[in-house]
Amino acid sequence: MSEAINYWPLIGVAWVVVGFVLRANPVIVVVSAGLVSGLLAGKSMGELLALLGESFVSNRALLMFAMTLPTIGLLERAGLREHALRWIEGWRALTLSRLLAGYLAARQGLSMLGLIDIAGHAQTVRPLLAPMAESAASKPNGEISRDDTQKVYALAAATDNVGRFFGEDVFLAFGAVLLIQGFYAEHGIHLEPLQIALWALPTAIAAFVIHAIRIVFFQRRLDRRTAARRATQPGSRADADD
């Protein structure tokens, strides 16, 4: 005869929902919900503390991401964004297309070497690349509109995504490469990781070229829109000539 199912541990789920609705500290809510569910499941406090310790040690790599956002927040509070804007303004020959294409090449190259998490949206795009791209886009056109600014931010984020996605496939020890190797091995086809990575190289090159072209066309459209808007504004040179 089957044992009765204990539904009391599900109270921990309701605990989490209520805690988030009340906007309580997420860490406190999640940990306390785990303790509540564990106690209602019949585990002792010692067993729960041991389980929490094991989970913390096995997922300690998450600490790097947990510390990234506070660090970036402190840097931005200290003027990181303003320094990035001033730095880009000093590079007169640096345009939006050159900046993003250079970042794309660096991101893709580092990903090919396995340095995937050395950059990313939280580490580089939000605090550095986005304001630098905005400054580079504003240099030839003056201040750009809010809508165009959001598009510049989106393009900067897309550039990071393309660089990482198509660069990491060339890295020999990347999980997808090993997965492909295992799949072929199950069907009697033996391939070395180097062979799989080399076949990903043409795709990475094509992705770089295609996205670089998209960046160039984006800047041209941005320049045309900004010039047209400035020409229709009161007090423009065209109005002064009239």
The pLDDT of residue 238: 45
Chain segment 197-217, per-residue pLDDT in tens: 888 889 999 999 999 999 999
Mean pLDDT of 177-193: 83
Q: CA–CA distance from 123 to each of 47, 98, 178 (Å)?
A: 37, 21, 27
Phi, psi angles (nearest 5°) of residue 76: -65, -35
Q: What is the arithmetic mean of pLDDT over 141-170?
A: 89
Residue 141 pLDDT: 67
First to last CA, the chain: 95
Tokens of residue 210, six digits: 């295609």
Q: Confidence band (pLDDT; 50, 70, 90) for 151?
A: very high
Which of the pair, 229 or 100, is modelled with greater confidence? 100
Domain boundaries, the chain: 8-58, 64-231
Average per-residue pLDDT in the chain?
81
Residue 34's CB: how many other CB atoms inside 10 A? 18
- CB contact at 8 A, 118 and 110: yes
